[in-house]
Chain A
Amino acid sequence: MKLRFILALWVARLVMFASRISGRGKGSALPGRVALKIYPGLLRELGRQVRRGIIIVTGTNGKTTTNNMIAGVLEGAGYSLVLNREGANLITGVTSAFIKVAGLSGRINRDYACLEVDEASFPGVVREVAPSIVVVTNFFRDQLDRYGELDKTIALVRDALASLGGICLVLNADDPLVAQLGRVTGKTAVYYGLAEHGGVTRTGSAAREAKFCPFCGVELSYRYYHYSQLGRYSCSGCGFARPEVDVEGVEPGAEQLAISCQVRFRRGDRHSLSIPVSGLYNLYNGLAACSVGLLLDIEIDGIIFSLSGYRPATGRMEKFIYLGKTVLLNLVKNPTGFNEGLSALLSVPAGRVNVLIAINDNDADGRDISWLWDVDFEVLEHSSGKFSGFVCTGRRAWDMAVRLKYAGVPGTCITVLEDFGDAVRAALEGTGEMSYFLATYTALWPVERILSGYAQREKLQPENIPSVSRSVKSVR
């Protein structure tokens, strides 16, 4: 038994080394896959050595960002981690993350494991590693499951959560599909959410999920919406409503490439939070990380300081500089994420923007691209002054062009260049004051590679870190 364990570990380490040397792939899922083939109990044996606890993040959008923010908070507090940083979130990727930090004899010398786990893989992963905290970000229809699969996904997560002992849930209170998990599983739960602010809407979009109460089926009524089904909801049938929030973001604001809010705790105190990323939706990820930090008894000033130095992972609003102009690269994988990306784009104050949209339809992207029609590109129709042009690229570049055209973007503003290199060059040379690149999963890596050949990846400058600093903390 012990021999197979060691063999699995060493072979996986060899695979990891080889794929890094050859530069093929990111080498993140393969070592885990190989290791589990040799010794299926590997993840369990590695996982149980983690000293203080295992934190799992699941949900549709924001997993990678939330997990990395939590990791930043824990590392900032001096803890050592197991972490699947780049979004390899199936059981194989999780296993790889453990293998990467394991000693030659299979020893894991780490305080915490921060794991982002795909919703469908969640039951399988928690059978092997027992989490003490599970964060659920949100549930949206993904491009891979157009019809009704969302209900099944939620049921998978729900049943797996119910089977776990001694866990605390960290739940998005604004999403009824997530918030229901507290009541339905009966587990201890901490809720985070955004308070009402100037940007909320009174009417929901037609395509939103969760029109009906998950408990009794009566149509949910909303006082306001943040986006999609996120907002302040209640059910007239059974009384299900947005739970009282433990960690709430109030007065959110978007500055040049940073977002901020006041974090208000249930007990009443408030703290200023600022995170150097675009997109108001990233506040949810930050609030989730705050909640986890507080659960683990980390000082609030330390949490806020760590979040103010957050660096996005590849394609999560990653920032580049090309000839003095900013280029943002963002992964898009489902309608809600794409809508969030578009609203971040529209809130950029810097004049006109060159937009590149890269759409592939490989398995990892979703072979069915009809989800593009659930994205609210119509918001672009009345903001034509914000754009210098759209470059469409990837295997489904022409479909993307058709989509923009039907959203009311003039055909003369749309260029189709199927080749990624041509498209990236054309977009960078656009007349706008900045560029904004959106890419599906398998289009992200080639676009990122080509882009980093032309543009400088932004290093976070300490003087750019807004608001909170160490000195403030030491004064207190």
Chain B
Amino acid sequence: MALARRCHWRGIDVSVCQVSLGDRVDFKEADFLFLGGGSDREQNLMAGDLAARSDLLREAIDGGLVVLAICGGYQLLGKYYLTLEGKKIPGLDILDLFTEGGNKRLIGNVAVEVDIEGTVYKLVGFENHSGRTFLGDLQPLGRVLAGHGNNGRDGFEGARYKNVFCSYLHGPLLPKNSVLADYLITLALKRRGWQGELAPLDDSFEKTAVSTMLQRIL
């Protein structure tokens, strides 16, 4: 939604497809894929559906499809989720990461430092997850300045692989952190062969919302 608005404000046409279970999707046709979280029950339904087409998704990701995966969507892209009871739920195995269930939910406001094309930005969001995610041979999205991040231990938040961005931050992530939103739009346009700079927008509400939260938690 945030991406569509930001494109729309710049005169870039966007169509949003809500995809339900079993619907046909051509990942190569799409510019952007959003994988969200949900309740455990909904999560299982979504996982089953995506597993049936993980090859197509993997191919599209290697071809530069821009993906934002949050919380449950993030965990799903990994190798597996190990529950507290010791049950191993397989993931789509597209990214080199795994998640373990935890006793205590990690909840609260988060600030992370993220490097976007050589410039360091501070992003804010809210996390609420019991899973602890550990990265293998994979870049994190950023470094935790406040909050828990991937697992509350190694100081990393999220993951980045090609044009796939994973994070535990919602709040939601994109509208307020307009720098990241615009970066995703730029990457999606680049994949279609477009070179150039996005027209700047007035982001004063977004920037003040971020700086107000940074002042509170840093």
A148, CB-defined interface residue at 8 Å = yes
Instruction: Report the minimum CB–CB distance from B9 to chain A (whole Å).
Output: 10
Among listed A316-324, A366-374, A434-442, interface-contacting one: A366-374
Interface flags, B1-42, vs A, CB<8A=1, else 0: 110010000000000001000000000000000000111111
- Is B209 in contact with A368, judged by CB distance below 8 angstroms? no
Residues of B within 8 A of A147 (CB): 37-39, 71-72, 128
B152 at the interface (CB under 8 A from A): no
Q: Does A401 contact B (CB under 8 A)?
A: yes
Interface residues on chain A, number (Cβ under 8 Å): 24
For the complex, is A146 an interface residue (Cβ under 8 Å from B)? yes
- A368-B128, A411-B202 known; A402 and B38 CB under 8 Å? no
Query: Nearest B residue to A407 by beta-carbon distance?
Result: B5
Is B172 an interface residue when CB atoms closer than 8 A count as contact?
yes
Bound Cα distance from A403 to B174, whole angstroms: 11
Does any Cβ of A come within 8 Å of B208's Cβ? yes
Interfacial residues of chain A within 397-411, with CB under 8 A of chain B in the complex = 398-399, 401-403, 405-406, 408, 411
A416 within 8 A of B: yes
Chain B residue numbers with a CB within 8 Å of A367 are 107-109, 126
Whole-angstrom CA separation of A370 from B170 in the bound complex:
7
If the complex has contacts A370-B126, A414-B205, are A148 and B5 also in contact, measured as CB distance less than 8 A? no
Is A146 within 8 A of B128, CB to CB? yes
Cβ of B38: which chain A residues have Cβ within 8 Å of it? Answer: 147-148
User: Is B96 part of the contact surface with A, judged by Cβ < 8 Å?
Assistant: no
With a cutoff of 8 Å between Cβ atoms, the chain B residues found around residue A368 in the complex are 107, 126, 128, 170-171
Contact of A401 among B108, B126, B172, B209 (CB under 8 A): B209
Number of A-B contacts (CB under 8 A): 61
Chain B: CB-nearest residue to A373: B172
CB-CB under 8 A from A150, the residues of chain B are 39
A458 within 8 A of B: no
With A369-B126, A370-B170, A373-B172 known to touch, is A402 a contact of B205 (CB < 8 Å)?
yes
Q: Chain A residues near B206 (CB, 8 Å)?
A: 402
Q: Which residues of B contact A416 (CB under 8 A)?
A: 205, 208
In the bound complex, how far is the Cα of B51 from the Cα of A352, in angstroms?
51
Judge whether B176 is part of the interface by a CB distance below 8 angstroms: yes
Tell yes or no: B212 within 8 A of A by CB: yes
Minimal beta-carbon separation of B120 from chain A (angstroms): 22
Q: Is B90 on the interface with A (CB-CB < 8 A)?
A: no
Give A151 to B41 CA distance when docked, in angstroms: 10
B172: chain A residues at CB < 8 Å are 370, 373
Q: Indicate if the CB atoms of A148 and B42 lie closer than 8 Å.
A: yes
B175 within 8 A of A: yes
Contact of A398 among B72, B109, B126, B205 (CB under 8 A): B205
Residues facing B in A378-426 (CB within 8 A) are 396, 398-399, 401-403, 405-406, 408, 411, 414, 416
Q: Would you mind naming 23 contact pairs between A and B with Cβ atoms under 8 Å apart?
A: A147-B128, A148-B38, A148-B41, A149-B39, A151-B39, A151-B41, A206-B18, A368-B107, A368-B126, A368-B128, A368-B170, A368-B171, A369-B171, A370-B126, A370-B171, A373-B175, A402-B175, A402-B176, A403-B175, A406-B1, A406-B5, A408-B5, A416-B208
* Nearest 8 A/B pairs, CB to CB: A148-B39, A398-B209, A401-B205, A368-B126, A398-B208, A402-B205, A399-B209, A370-B170
